[in-house]
Amino acid sequence: MEIKDIVETAKEKLMEFTGFSSPNAIGINKEGNEWHITVEIIEKPSEAVNLEILGIYDVRVDASGNLLGYERMGMRKRGDIQKGDIRRE
């Protein structure tokens, strides 16, 4: 699979398992045989866009696009800027 296909698969799987919508990939990293895709997804929609609550997830998939796991790393309002707050160890 190409990287863009892996990212799309990760976003689709996250929507499927969480029931949330509108994922946006904001980072990608390969560690060994796993891809870690950082995805923001709307967890609480709002009529005022800057009040939407976004969940930030680390989604792990293999090279074939199989979901290995996911974890919410944090949450934020769409209008909030977080610099360096979310780190995977």
Please write down the long-range contacts of 52-59, taking CB distance under 8 Å and 24 or more positions apart.
Answer: 52/77, 52/78, 53/77, 53/78, 54/78, 55/18, 55/20, 56/26, 56/86, 57/14, 58/88, 59/10, 59/11, 59/13, 59/14
pLDDT in tens, the chain (89 residues): 888 999 999 999 999 999 998 899 999 999 999 999 999 999 998 887 778 899 999 999 998 889 999 999 999 888 776 555 555 54
Is CATH 3.40.50.1970 what the domain over 3-77 is classified as, yes or no? no
The predicted structure's pLDDT at residue 85: 54
Domain boundaries, given as residue ranges, for the chain: 3-77
What pTM was computed for the model? 0.81
